[in-house]
Amino acid sequence: MPATRAPATPDDLAVDVRGLRKSYGDQTVLDGVDLAVRTGTVTALLGPNGAGKTTTVGILSTLLTADGGTARVAGHDVTSAPEAVRASIGVTGQASAVDDLLTGAENLRLMASLHHLGRHEGRARADALLDRFGLAEAARRPVATWSGGMRRKLDLAMTLVGEPAVVFLDEPTTGLDPRSRRALWDEVRALVAAGTTILLTTQYLEEADHLADRVAVLDGGRVVAEGTPEELKHAHDAGSLDDVFLRLTEPTTTTTEVA
């Protein structure tokens, strides 16, 4: 049997979700979701298309309003203290947020200005991130000329300009080649090693297995299983997360995810 872990307390949690609900008309997207993400860890949120993953991230990042339940991020309630939540988080969405007409350096400096950093501090932080992500040589070229992997690295670098305590990564490696995907994995590991908390949505079971401390499987708007990758494999007598995922999500739901 895998070693048991003491239950998390509210002070241990960077993300604390209880009974989260969201509907659009008669379409239920989230139906009482509970989710706990410990500080300084990676939690992977898995689920078929339409399970509610992106909607969950939207609520936690204050872009959407829940119909019911509670959610706290970095100790702040997403409903009563949205500004404090936004000051504590970074979000890398499925669609790239970079401006193709600007250079890499200009994109980062623009983000630094949006975070109200001074000119000197903003340039220094931009240069440090360009170096960290191996983008310094391309920094003065328009992003339109960059590869997909480079653009995704820049997208994550822009998320980190504000030095967030919690980062939401919504399918960050979709469409990347294996080399670029693994390079992004390395950056995620480095972030966690430095104390950042990450909630990751992904369609890649291998990604969850390699990166996540805990995995939550979302189906039909509910969390149907949660645990470490090894705990889930053991509980379902499976050799891989792929087997676990298929057993928990078949037949797939017909719910359409909105947002």
In this predicted structure, which of 3-12, 58-67, 117-126 has the lowest mean pLDDT?
3-12
Give the pLDDT score at 251. Answer: 59
* H/E segment holding residue 13: strand 13-24
As a whole number, the mean pLDDT across the chain is 88
List the domain boundaries for the chain. 13-96+165-249
Q: Reduce the DSSP state of residue 223 to 3 states and report it.
A: strand
Place 177 in a pLDDT band, splitting at 50, 70 and 90: confident
Distances (CA, A) of 67 to 23, 27, 59: 7, 12, 10
What residues contact residue 162 under an 8 Å CB cut-off, 6+ apart? 87, 90, 111, 115
pLDDT, tens digit (0-9, with 9 covering 90-100), for 22-41? 999 999 999 999 999 999 99
| Res 140: pLDDT | 96
> Which residues does residue 17 pair with via DSSP β-bridges, in sequence order?
35, 71
Predicted confidence at residue 258, as pLDDT, reads 43
pLDDT digits (tens, 9 = 90+) for 99-153: 999 999 999 999 999 999 999 999 999 999 999 999 999 999 999 999 988 998 9
Instruction: Identify the CATH class of 13-96+165-249.
Output: alpha beta
- Taking only the tens place, the pLDDT of each residue in 66-78 is 999 999 999 999 9
Task: For strands 27-38 and 42-46, give the pairing.
Answer: unpaired
Q: Which residue has the higher pLDDT, 175 or 226?
A: 226
Q: What is the pTM of this model?
A: 0.85
